[in-house]
Amino acid sequence: MNTMKWLLRREFWEHKGGFVWAPLIAAALMVVLVGGLVGYGIASGKMHGDSISVQVDGKEVHHTSIAKVITLEKRADMASIAANNYIATGAPIFFVLPIVGLFYCLGALYDDRRDRSILFWKSLPISDTDTVLSKLLTVLVVAPLITIGVATAAALAILFFAGIATSSHGVNLFGAVLTNVNFYLAPLYLVGMLPVYILWALPTAGWLLLVSSWAKSKVFLWAIGVPLFAAVLLKWLDYLLGMTSGTTINADWIINNVLESILLGLIPGTWFSHAGSALPQPTSSGVPLLPMLTYSWSTLAKPALWAGVVAGVAMIAAAIRLRRWRDEG
């Protein structure tokens, strides 16, 4: 257990740049942009121009009278929308995660073979299983948790600026938002989706780590090129068969179910993409988080998920086995 703690710390030392600084920089950019807009708007009086008006209940209302039109009930609604959805403003940060995760996985069991520092790690009493598992934990648990933390912080900052913007029109929502329980639950809902993310991401992480452990060079090409080429080949074969005998090998099904799950699994929320009508519909107060969480967990009933998990575990076992015997010359 102690060894695992140090292995995780080791990964953190090496990949601070990708896992901490990349989302932080993305977050900082977003916050500065929103903060700048609000600040500029207030300072330059752009928000108080004569031509500005907003729609309230389908009626055109001049901005100076917004505060009068918006009733207490309306304010509670607005606060509820803010408390329920502010976390969504951190969404762009979640797109950093799969990119960083992809390159992390590809390098994880390859970089130290290339620069031969693997011989140093192998001179210490660390099993190959622990090494590979530490990399898996880093990409599937540590990195998403850091991302959730940074995204939440960014969303809070943006919510704060939005609050200032409405306050400048005499509509103070801070109290109402802070007393809304969903404001506090939102980050927890995200953490609650993490186990679902881990299971859906397992085949991708397994595939990437396997290639990283196996390839002698050109890891990216093998990991991405092979599945893409396989997709093209399947489509072509399907086309030929359809032309000649009218049969099909169901290329689209294979591409959707197999190739997608080994390439796109690291993207948060892939499990929503095939939801169809089961997906919680947005209401007037935005997309409700609790039904999203419940839906996420309900995907655990899908056999496709568990097939992916089994494949992922098998590929990780293969990666460990390869790590044991790869000779670095």
The minimum distance between CB 128 and another protein, in angstroms, equals 8
Which of 46, 62, 74, 116 touches another protein (CB under 8 A)? 116
- Are 268 and 197 contacting, i.e. CB atoms less than 8 angstroms apart? yes
114 binds another protein (CB under 8 A): no
Distance from the first to the final alpha carbon of the chain: 32
Q: Helices 72-85 & 143-167, crossing angle to 10 degrees?
A: 160
Which of 24, 42, 126, 318 touches another protein (CB under 8 A)? 126
The minimum distance between CB 21 and another protein, in angstroms, equals 13
CA angle 191, 193, 197 (to 5 degrees): 115
6 binds another protein (CB under 8 A): yes
123 binds another protein (CB under 8 A): yes
325 binds another protein (CB under 8 A): yes
Tell me the sheet residues that pair with 59: 56
122 binds another protein (CB under 8 A): yes
324 binds another protein (CB under 8 A): yes
5 binds another protein (CB under 8 A): yes
State the Cα–Cα distance between residues 295 and 80, nearest whole angstrom.
Answer: 21
Which of 45, 58, 125, 276 touches another protein (CB under 8 A)? 125
Q: Considering all CA atoms of the chain, what is the largest pairwise distance in Å, rounded to the nearest integer?
A: 78
Which of 65, 117, 248, 294 touches another protein (CB under 8 A)? 117
Which of 29, 54, 119, 228 touches another protein (CB under 8 A)? 119
- Are 229 and 208 contacting, i.e. CB atoms less than 8 angstroms apart? no
7 binds another protein (CB under 8 A): yes
127 binds another protein (CB under 8 A): yes
Which of 141, 144, 139 has its CA nearest to residue 101?
139
Instruction: Name every residue whose Cβ is closer than 8 Å to that of residue 326 and which is 6 or more positions away in sequence.
Output: 113, 213, 214
The minimum distance between CB 124 and another protein, in angstroms, equals 6
The minimum distance between CB 121 and another protein, in angstroms, equals 8
10 binds another protein (CB under 8 A): yes
1 binds another protein (CB under 8 A): no
The minimum distance between CB 140 and another protein, in angstroms, equals 22
Nearer to another protein, 15 or 169 (CB): 15
216 binds another protein (CB under 8 A): no
Binding residues for another protein, rule CB under 8 A, total 24
Side-chain-side CA neighbours of residue 322 (13 Å): 19
State the Cα–Cα distance between residues 166 and 42, nearest whole angstrom.
Answer: 10
Nearer to another protein, 3 or 298 (CB): 3
42 binds another protein (CB under 8 A): no
The minimum distance between CB 98 and another protein, in angstroms, equals 23
- Are 88 and 286 contacting, i.e. CB atoms less than 8 angstroms apart? yes
Residue 115 phi/psi, 5-degree rounding, is: -90, 5
State the Cα–Cα distance between residues 33 and 28, nearest whole angstrom.
Answer: 8
State the Cα–Cα distance between residues 213 and 222, nearest whole angstrom.
Answer: 12
Binding region for another protein (CB under 8 A): 2-3, 5-7, 9-10, 13-14, 112, 115-117, 119-120, 122-127, 324-325, 327
